[in-house]
Amino acid sequence: MLDIKFIRDNAELIKRNVNNRGAKVDIDELLRLDAARRELETTLDNLRAKRNRASKTKPTPDIIAEMKKIGEKIKRGEEKLADLTPKYKELLYAVPNLTHPDVRISADEDEEDNPVLETYGKPTKFKFAPLDHVQLAQNLDLIDFDRGVKVSGAKFYYLKNQAALLEMALIQYALEIATKHGYTPFITPDMAKQDILAGLGFNPRDQATQIYNIENSDLSLIGTAEITLGGYHKDEVLEEKDLPKKYVAVSHCFRTEAGSYSKFSKGIFRVHQFTKVEMFQYATPDKSETAHQEILEIEKEIFKGLGIPFRVVDHSTADLGTPAYRTFDLEAWLPGKPNKNGQMGDWAEITSASNCTDYQARGLNIKYKDKNGDKNFVHTLNGTAVAMSRTPIAIMENYQRADGSVEIPKVLRKYIPGKPKVIKRK
């Protein structure tokens, strides 16, 4: 979250930023509630101080009567404060992070409005009619959609045969590259407390939330290991000499996909459960932009190694998540994804890398102590190493062959039993 004092002192800047990012939050109402809370807190402090002074004197009937009245005023004030606080916090947590000055201002959430910064490789061309990943998976007996629906419901699935081994190979490959760059590997819980999610900028209670909440508990299923890695140092003070802290985690991810009915979702492109390898950094403020570029370069290294055509895009304001200061995506070329002209072949998000500055650290009270002993909030950054199911889609569709088989990228073969070169139907 942002510092409420900063919001007070820069109300017009915050309003412009809220408008640029298409956020729905009433800054005037937030400031009104903030002023009311501060006035109440001042009144309560004065009443408590008066009560404390009186408690140190010899009680008389007049003093006892006055203390009773003060006690009643304190009770009423605390009740008013308790009534104001939830709405105040709801509005404060809804205020998005500030925005990097180089980010394009746009009111259009269409991904095509995001500037393309660079492209690696060219869209894959075939001398035969290519299939999409659903057809390939069915022909090669790699994914069982019908039984996934039977057992768990729509947008669940079973990975089978070489697809299951391919996913595990991708995990090993991504971990090998990330750890080579100094990232400590983790396997995190798949649930987190709702105050962790809220502090990081994920609203687990909003009607349009992507979060699955666990009934009769304060737990939610995570949509990314950013949540569990981001909460790892909650309420801690780190030493500057120990920064940056670089973590990479394997976790299952769960998303409701609320409001995604109009988006491309064929097969396993948009599902309720998937596995992801996520990178996360805690950095000092002066190093966070460098850390952001480092995460992006690792993502590019991973997908260059896989030989998948991709491009790097810079999210415009309308497409930024609430905690992000700036976000870069890798978009892979998917030969089986329809484009806006109705033809086959289009770009699709396959990784994301965000600099959240001190927004998440303030929400979870994560600071560092510098060499002078001063304490400041750290900056947090996150980025996808590989996400299943989209990376396997890109592999299947770009590496398919005329006979219906799928070549396995060279960098993955050593992680698969028997080191096969091709996926064929048994």
The residues annotated as belonging to the active site are: 255, 270, 349, 352, 390
Kindly give, in sequence order, each residue whose CB lies less than 8 Å from that of residue 18, ignoring residues fewer than 6 positions away.
25, 27, 95, 96
Count CB-CB contacts under 10 A for residue 160: 15
Cα–Cα distances (Å) from 45 to 40, 74, 77, 152, in that order, read 9, 9, 10, 54
Rounded to a whole number of angstroms, the CA Rg of the chain reads 26
Return the C-alpha torsion angle 288, 292, 293, 294, nearest 10. Answer: 90
C-beta of residue 276 within 8 angstroms of C-beta of residue 302 = no
Helix (H) or strand (E) holding 421: none
Which secondary structure element, helix H or strand E, spans residue 259, and what is its range? Answer: none
Tokens of 175: 């971990």
Whether residue 420 has a cis bond before it, omega within 30° of 0: no
Please list, in sequence order, all residues whose beta carbon lies within 8 angstroms of the beta carbon of residue 374, skipping any fewer than 6 positions away.
none
Chain-centroid distance, C-alpha 419: 34
